Amino acid sequence: MLPADAPKPQQPRQHHRLSPEELRFASVILACKTLSIVAKYAAFCLSIWWLAPSLQAFAGRQTRVDIKANTHLDVQLANGGSSADSPGAAASSATPWILAILTAAGIAYARLQRRLYRQSVRQLQRTAALEKQLDPNRQGSGLIQGFQPNPEDR
Spatial separation of the C-alpha atoms in residues 114 and 120, rounded to whole Å: 10
Model pTM? Answer: 0.35
Q: Give SS3 for 117.
A: helix
- What is the mean pLDDT of each successive set of 10 residues along the chain, which is 154 residues long? 61 72 90 94 91 76 58 50 51 74 93 91 83 79 62 68
CA dihedral 30→36→38→42, nearest 10 degrees, is 170
Q: What is the pLDDT of residue 64?
A: 61
DSSP summary character for residue 153: G
Q: What is the pLDDT of residue 86?
A: 53
pLDDT in tens, 48-84: 888 888 777 777 666 565 555 555 555 454 555 554 5
What are the residue boundaries of the structural domains of the chain, listed by start? 23-53, 82-137
Q: What is the pLDDT of residue 30?
A: 93
CB 143 within 8 A of CB 124: yes
